[in-house]
Structure 1
Amino acid sequence: MPSLNLSNLFRRGADRRSLKERAADLRASFSAGRSLAPAQLAPGSAEAKAAWRAACHQHSIRALPLHDYPELNHPTGGAWTTRGLMRAMEAGEITVAEFAQLQPIASERELRLAEITHELRIGELFALAHADEYPVASDQDASAPRTPDPVLAAIASSQSAEAVMTAFAASVAGRRMTDAERIQEDAIERDQRATRAAVWATVPTTAEGRAALVRYAAFQAELAFGADWRAKARQEFCGDFLLAALAAVEAETEREGA
C-alpha cells in the first residue's frame, strides 16, 4: 500500500501556534480543575453522579484545544494515535519517516488527555457514579491486592466523551447551530471516535476488565440502535455473540452477588 502524502502536513501558518505553545497553555490550565471532585462521595449517590457530570463537562472544555492537531487528522476520519501509527507502520501504510514525524505529536496529545483525565479523577468518579452496576466484593476479596485493568480507564474516557456529546446535543436541540457550535460538535465527535478506538484497542488484563468490555460493547450497541438494541443487534453480524457474552457476564455477576 502506498504511503500517505504528508508533504504539506507540517506547514504551519503564521497565525498557528506551535505545539510547545499549545502544551504550555494546557499545562497552565490543569490546576483549575484539581478540586472539582470532593474527597468523599458515597458510591451511587446523587452527589457522585452530579460530580461525574460536572467532571465530564470540564473534560469537554479542557480537552477541546487538543482537537487542534491538524497534523494528526486521519485520512478516514478521527485522529492518529500512537497505537494506530505503530500498526500503520507495521502494515506498510506509512513510512518509518512519517511515523517518526507523527509519533511525538500523537504522544504529546495523548499525554495531555491523560493528564486532564487524571486531574478530573474521571476513572474514580465514573466508578462512584455507576457503583450500582458492579458486584459488591466480600471482605476476603477486599483484602486481596488488585491490579487496575487498563481497559477500565479507557472505558471511563469513552463514557465521558459520550456524556459530553449527549449534553451538547441536548443544548442545541430544536434549533439551528451556530458556526462555532458546529466546530465544537466536530471536535466532540472526533473525541468520541478516538476514545472508542482506544477502548477497542485495549486488551483487558483481568476478569473485571473483560466483563466491563462486554458491558461497554452493549452500551455502544444501545447508543447505535436505541432502546430496542437487542432485537436490532441480532440482525447484525456478531450480534448474537454480543448478547451471549453479555448474558454470561450478567449470570456470573448474579452468582457472585448471591
Structure 2
Amino acid sequence: MPSLKLSNLFRRNADRRSLKERASDLRASIGALNRPATPQFAPGSAEAKAAWRDACHQHSIRALPLHDCPELDHPTGGAWTTRELMRAMETGEITVTEFARLQPIASLRELRFAEIAHELRIGELFALAHADEYPAKAEADPVLAAIAASENAEAAMTAFAASTEGRRLTDAERSQEDVIERDQRATRAAAWATVPTTAEGRAALARYVASQAELTFGPDWQAKVRQEFCGDPFLALLAAVEAATRDGA
C-alpha cells in the first residue's frame, strides 16, 4: 500500500479562504452541533450495539492509510506521537530541529484520527452500546426532601411566633397557627417514616434527629434525653450513625 504523504497536506492553496471566512464557518459548524442530524439510539439497545460495531469497522477502513507513515517511523517500532516527540526532545533523544520537522506531521496525523472518530461518532456510540457496564446516575435520597419540608414548617412556626409575640392572637391568627401546627406534625411524621437510601441521607437524618431533640428539650437536650427511658441507647445510636456517615459507610 502506498505510504501516506502527509507533507502534501501542508502546501498553501493560492485561493485559501480568509481568516474571517474560516471563523464564520467554524461558528456555523459549532452551532450545528446542537442540531444532531443523526439518530441517537437508546442506551444499551441492539441498535446502539450494531451501530457501534459498524462504526468500528468503518474506522478501521478509513484509518488504515494513516498507519503507513514512514516519515514518523519510531526506532523501536510504531510511529512517533506528538507526546513522544516532546518527551524525546526534552531528554535529548532527538534534536530541536528533528522535533520541528516531525511534530507538524504527527500532529496532523493525530488530527486525522480524531476527525475520523468524530465523523463516525465513535465516543458517543461506544457509550450507548456499553451503557449497561456503567452505573446509572443515583437518584436523590427521598429523606432529603422530607427533611426539607419539615424544616420549612418549623421555620414557618418560628416566624409566626415571632410576629405575634407579646400579644393575644386574633381568631384569624389562631386559625393560621392551627394550620402551621398541622403542617409541622405531618412533615415530621413524613420525615420519620422515610428511610434514607444514601450516606448523605443518613447524615442528614442524624442532624435532623439532633435538631428535633433540641427543639423539644432545648440547648441542653443531650442531658435531658439521658433522663428519659432509652436515652443512653438513643444517644449511642445517634453517635454511631454520625460516625458511619463521616466515614462514608
TM-score by length of 2: 0.42
Structure-1-length-normalised TM-score = 0.41
The structure whose Rg is larger is: 2
